[in-house]
Structure 1
Amino acid sequence: MATWVLLRGLMRDSRHWYGFDAQLRDEGIDVLTPDATGNGTLASKPSHLTIGNYSDDIWQQIDKGLNDNPEFSRELVIIGVSMGGMIALEMARQRHKQVRHVALINSSAGNLSPWYQRFQLRPLINSIWHRHKAANLSFIESCVLNYTTVTKADDESVISDWGNMRSQLHTSIINGARQIYAAARYQCTWFGHCRVSVIGANQDKLANPKCSKALAEFYHTPLLQVEQCGHDATLDHPDQIRQLIQDTISESAS
């Protein structure tokens, strides 16, 4: 069984899988959760200005994880949310013999979708205005969860947990801007050596669902749409996302 590598998106880190990685391990799947440069364990480093450059630091974390766990398969399935999907595509291009499957969740590319679909501003403003308001909750994380989720936008326990994570460690404004710049410039390329799956949420307020449709058409693969789901799909519907990925992996192996 291949090792699954999970990659988060803009200004998020491995903590924001919020139990999805633990769920996979409970299913018997070997999982690695590296952080992109400037986020999480690498928050002190300056974020790169091109998507391709993020791969080096992530490959170092993966190689260390595989060396520390020799029972893990060196064959990889890489799952990326948003900017994490862009990085996943670049990693598949770099090590085509090692990456077996790439699963993109609510991702996008500059050569396939216009900027105003890839980063929707009006829903962001609405999310700030309609965030869950409570004096003891993080303003920023309340806005983020309203913007990126459907089922957790008003969940005070999740907002509180994410606020605590933010108070312990978070991405700097400068690194966030550098990541946005890198993601905005990213253009995907065609490769035929591994399967690409595309999962899109029907209520994604950050990246218009048309972005996932464009990726699916570019990589000649069906669009796997999830209903009643926002940008952070593994937070909204973790079981359904896990099953979709497992099903597509099984199909590509048959």
Structure 2
Amino acid sequence: MDWILLRGLTREQAHWGDFPHQLGAAFPEHRFHTVDLPGTGVHFREPSPDAIQGIRRQVCRSVSHMPRPFSILALSMGGMVALDWAQHADPGEIQHLVLVNTSSGFSPPWHRMRPASWPKILRLLARRELFERERDILRLTSNRPVPLELAKRWYSIQRQRPVSRGNAYRQLKAAARYTPAGSRPLPDALLLASQGDRIVNWRCSADIESRWQWTLKLHPDAGHDLPLDDPGWILKQLESWLPDA
């Protein structure tokens, strides 16, 4: 089974760190592919659409060569793209869907982005000192101590493939406006949420679970970047949930 991994707002495939390799080691019969959203990573020179539907269409084109069916594991805004994708996919195209700390228009705005995080995120997007900005993003999205080497790595990513301020704001606009269609795209999906998330309230995942009776698992203290804070916990949830694991 092929998996597509999607990151969130202004983040790219390199921000997964070692997580794809950990997935491959835990599930050797599966293949995991990191895919960048428009405006980030290998597509950093391209303009990002300002709607999730437009972002999803461009991501679909970038993986049109991949065999179907496949599965998707997506974080934050990437989860919105994955959910929109599942609702527009051909029957049987997407086999498994795993959404990590995502949100949608099913939840109130103050849950989709905690009020205290709004000014912090806007200041971060406008900040020009790259190293300090990337370190502060880590401090906001992770609930673990931030090693200097990790901050340097994220700084290097931004130096090599910078996300423009315009693309950052267009992605933020797309995420803020996204509301899924009302129909459930799959009989089940795995929703993973961090109760310690300081950006998105875990109740956003609970709202999706309540609406569609999907499987919800809560981490007690990880931050928004759950794959960074506790990748082993995600692997355990996948092992329990996947029928062929």
**TM-score, normalising length from structure 1?**
0.85
1:137 and 1:160 in contact (8 A); partners too: no
Q: In the superposition, relative to structure 1, how do residues 53 and 20 fare at CA in structure 2: closer, same or farther (>3 Å)? A: same
Q: Work out the CA distance in 1 between the residues paired with 2:108 and 2:122.
A: 23
C-alpha deviations, 1:29-67, integer Å up to 9, x for none?
201111111111111111112111112221223233x2x
Question: How has the CA–CA distance of structure 1 residues 127 and 62 changed in structure 2, closer, same or farther, with 3 Å as cutoff?
Answer: closer
Rate the CA distance shift 1:124–1:178 in 2: closer, same or farther, 3 A: closer
The one-letter code sitting in structure 2 at the alignment partner of 1:187 is T
Q: Which residue of 1 aligns with 2:63?
A: 62
Map residues 135-146 of structure 1 onto 2, 5 A cutoff.
138-146=131-139
Structure 1 segment 119-198 matched on structure 2, within 5 A: 119-123=113-117, 138-151=131-144, 153-189=145-181, 190-198=183-191
What SS is found at the alignment partner of 1:63?
Answer: coil
Residue aligning to 1:74 = 68
Residue number in structure 2 paired with 1:218: 211
Instruction: Tell me the matched-pair count.
Output: 236
Structure 2: unaligned runs, 5 residues or longer: 124-128
Letter in 2 for 1:59: C
Alpha-carbon separation, structure 2, partners of 1:34 and 1:84: 10
Closer, same or farther: CA 61–221 of 1 in aligned 2, 3 Å: same
Quote the residue 2:46 is aligned against. Answer: 45
1:165-224 per-position Cα deviation (integer Å, ceiling 9, x unaligned): 111112111111111111111112222444221110010011011212112212212320
Distance 1:154 1:191 in 2: 38
Number of the residue aligned with 1:10: 9
- The 8 Å contact of residues 124 and 205 in structure 1, kept in 2 or not, is answered as no
Query: CA–CA distance in 1 between the matches of 2:163 and 2:115?
Result: 21
CA 1:126–1:186: 2 relative to 1, 3 Å: closer
Amino acid paired to 1:150 = N
Q: Is the 8 A contact 2:191 2:214 kept in 1?
A: yes
Amino acid at match of 1:42: H
1:117-146 C-alpha deviation (Å, 9 max, x unpaired): 2122424667999xxxxxx98111111111
Q: Which moved more, 1:168-177 or 1:26-35?
A: 26-35
Q: Is the 8 A contact 2:189 2:215 kept in 1?
A: no
Identity of aligned residues (%): 27
User: Is 1:239 aligned with 2:232?
Assistant: yes
Q: Which residue of 2 aligns with 1:100?
A: 95
TM-score, normalisation: structure 2: 0.88
Structure 1: which 4+ aligned runs deviate by more than 3 Å? Answer: 123-129
**2-side partners of 1:246 and 1:56: how far apart?**
30
